Amino acid sequence: MPRSDWTPHRREDGELLGWIHPDGDEWVPVDVLGRPVSAPAEWLDAEAALEQHGIAWLADPWMLDGEDERPLRVRILEVTPDEHEAPGRIVVKIDDFGDMTRPATTQFILSWPIPDRLRPPREDDPDPRTIAR
């Protein structure tokens, strides 16, 4: 658990969706990357926000800035939150588009919670399937 006042929230199958922590008289839902999912709310609304947010988005492509001249399209391999004084980490790899015949792609280990340089793709990001010189 990242902080002592954060309460884990899990799906019915036990999969961690995130945490809920106090903020004054209300509660903040936080996803597994350490991002707030909604504004502070009542406890049941915070639970509902985490349920609705889910974790399927972890399988989506992400963009990693600062490792190359242009953003790299990556996939998340691992999310390990901070726990008992041990720093967490997020492990990503360059997207191989599911090609199992090619060699393993480069992996990057990032800090947890999610750093600003790991982000969802934007419309103006380069197409990773084209070669740029």
What is the rounded distance in angstroms from the CA atom of residue 33 to the CA atom of residue 7? Answer: 15
Of the given ranges (54-58, 84-88, 111-115), which has the lowest mean pLDDT?
Answer: 84-88
Structure token pair of residue 115: 């750093």
- Decide if 118 contacts 92 (C-beta within 8 A): yes
Residue 8 clears pLDDT 90, i.e. is over it: yes
Half-sphere exposure of 75 (CA within 13 A, CB side): 11
Read off the amino acid at residue 61. Answer: P
User: pLDDT by residue (tens digit) across 75-88?
Assistant: 999 999 988 778 99
Residues linked to residue 107 through DSSP beta bridges, in sequence order: 93
Residue located via tokens 């600003």: 116
User: pLDDT by residue (tens digit) across 61-77?
Assistant: 999 999 988 899 999 99
Domain chopping of the chain, boundaries: 7-57, 60-119
Residue 132 clears pLDDT 70, i.e. is over it: no
